[in-house]
């Protein structure tokens, strides 16, 4: 059955109490996606004796690039169903398949952090893909213990350099700070050759998730913001969500200082994990960087029906991918800000 207003509180409680519940399963995140991109929500719940036993958040994404699809969830590296048993999991996925067919979708996509059981895969006909990897740092209540395990030359030296350069890290407290982050984020995404997010997306995150679920940290040099990161704070985990920096100041070590400040804060607040986010398995440079923070890698199983689609983002060596990244690297910033969000809406 579909989520209704009367079950919203129970949905939130289920997410909070479930070991697999993430920030992306919350209804705050639903509002962000709904109000920014006008995707059609399809939030499924499974009940037994009037108690929620499973949930599956979904959005319909109609795209001229990737096709009409049902995904859990767009602009989220985690999602998928959460259930108290394989029986409930199977029921939710079958309901999603039916809804996908009803909406005329090309495919169904579930972005999960845990493997489906072989039995559920067999009974639902889902196809598994493990293109992405998450990098997780386990925290302790002693930051010095974490510090001692970081790569001496590339991480610890960089953080020390940033401090010696008198960089200051502070927590954002205004929309103006969010705008400073956004302007840096536009530059960063252009450098990497990817479309730019709409500022409205970050506004909605701020509106619905600040201060309970997000932290925005700014690195300042001579009173100028030179780098920033947005972190999602949910249950026992800090998740690195978005980052941005000014290339002119990269040699000062601002990015590593921000990461270390966030990790140190997580330790002091008795959190259990720092999640560096997902990385394609073939992006060896980024995986190597995260490994220097003493992270553990975990495969992220994504599931598809009726088949695994050929996505441009999953073929980084293709000519099409290289042409796209070169285009976004060279396009004027004004066009990147206006056209980028319209394209990105289709690639979520």
307/314 Cα distance (integer angstroms): 15
pLDDT of residue 312: 47
- Asked if residue 131 has pLDDT above 90, the reply is yes
Q: What residue has token string 């991480």?
A: 155
Reported as a single tens digit per residue, the pLDDT across 150-187 is 999 999 999 999 999 999 999 999 999 999 999 999 99
Reported as a single tens digit per residue, the pLDDT across 209-230 is 999 999 999 999 999 999 999 9
- Asked if residue 337 has pLDDT above 80, the reply is yes
pLDDT of residue 116: 97
pLDDT of residue 316: 63
Nearest to 208 by CA among 19, 27, 337: 27
Reported as a single tens digit per residue, the pLDDT across 291-325 is 999 999 999 999 999 999 876 455 666 667 778 88
Average of per-residue pLDDT across 318-341: 84
Kindly give the interhelix angle for 199-209 and 27-37, rounded to the nearest 10 degrees.
Answer: 150
Reported as a single tens digit per residue, the pLDDT across 244-265 is 999 999 999 999 999 999 999 9
pLDDT of residue 348: 79
HSE (CB half, 13 Å, CA atoms) of 26? 16
Average of per-residue pLDDT across 53-79: 94
3-state secondary structure the chain: CECCHHHHHHHHHHHHHCCCCCHHHCHHHHHHHHHHHCCEECCEEEEECCEEEEEECCEEECCCCCCCEEEECCCCCCCCCEECCHHHHHHHHHHHHHHHHHCCCCEEEEECCCCCCHHHHHHHCCEEEEEEEEEEEECCCCHHHHHCCCCHHHHHHHHHHHHHCCCEEEECCCHHHHHHHHHHHHHHHHHHCCCCCCHHHHHHHHHHHCCCCEEEEEEEECCEEEEEEEEEEECCEEEEEEEEECHHHHHHCHHHHHHHHHHHHHHHCCCCEEEEEEEECCCHHHHHHHHCCCCEEEEEEEEEECCCCCCHHHCCCCHHHHHHHHHHHHCCHHHHHHHHHHHHHHHC
Reported as a single tens digit per residue, the pLDDT across 133-147 is 999 999 999 999 999
Residues above pLDDT 70, as percent of the chain: 97
Q: How far is CA 200 from the centre of its chain?
A: 17
Contact between 47 and 1 under an 8 Å Cβ cutoff? The reply is yes
Average of per-residue pLDDT across 24-53: 96
Could you tell me the pTM of the whole model?
A: 0.95
pLDDT of residue 315: 62
Q: Check the CA dihedral 72-77-80-83 and report its sign.
A: negative
Q: What is the mean pLDDT of the chain?
A: 94
Sheet of 51-56, strand order: 44-48, 51-56, 82-83
Does residue 203 have a cis bond before it (omega within 30 degrees)?
no
Q: Which domains can be identified in the chain, with CATH numbers?
A: 5-133+301-347 (3.40.630.30), 135-298 (3.40.630.30)
């Amino acid at each position: 059955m579909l989520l209704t207003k009367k079950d919203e509180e129970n949905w939130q409680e289920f997410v909070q109490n479930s070991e697999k519940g993430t920030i992306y399963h919350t209804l705050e995140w639903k509002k962000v996606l709904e109000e920014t991109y006008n995707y059609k929500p399809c939030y499924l719940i499974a009940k037994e004796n009037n108690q929620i036993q499973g949930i599956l958040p979904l959005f319909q994404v109609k795209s001229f690039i990737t096709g009409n699809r049902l995904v859990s969830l767009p602009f989220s590296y985690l999602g998928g169903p959460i259930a108290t048993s394989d029986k409930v999991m199977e029921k939710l996925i079958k309901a999603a398949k039916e809804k996908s067919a009803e909406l005329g979708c090309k495919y169904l996509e579930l972005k999960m952090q845990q493997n489906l059981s072989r039995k559920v895969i067999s009974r639902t006909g889902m196809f598994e893909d493990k293109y992405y990897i998450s990098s997780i740092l386990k925290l302790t209540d002693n930051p010095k213990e974490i510090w001692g395990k970081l790569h001496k030359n590339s991480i610890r030296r960089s953080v020390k350099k940033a401090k010696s350069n008198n960089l200051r890290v502070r927590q954002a407290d205004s929309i103006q700070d969010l705008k400073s982050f956004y302007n840096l984020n536009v530059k960063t995404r252009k450098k990497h050759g990817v479309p730019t997010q709409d500022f409205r997306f970050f506004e909605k995150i701020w509106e619905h998730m600040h201060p309970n679920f997000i932290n925005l940290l700014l690195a300042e040099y001579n009173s100028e913001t030179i780098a920033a990161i947005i972190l999602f704070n949910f249950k026992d985990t800090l998740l690195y969500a978005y980052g941005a920096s000014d290339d002119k100041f990269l040699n000062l070590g601002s990015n590593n200082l921000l990461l270390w400040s966030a990790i140190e804060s997580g330790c002091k607040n008795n959190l259990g994990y720092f999640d560096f986010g997902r990385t394609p398995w073939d992006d060896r440079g980024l995986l190597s960087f995260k490994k220097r923070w003493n992270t553990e890698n975990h495969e992220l199983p994504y599931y598809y029906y009726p088949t695994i689609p050929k996505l441009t983002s999953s073929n980084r060596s293709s000519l099409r991918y290289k042409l796209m990244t070169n285009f976004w690297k060279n396009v004027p910033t004004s066009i990147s800000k206006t056209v980028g969000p319209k394209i990105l809406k289709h690639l979520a």
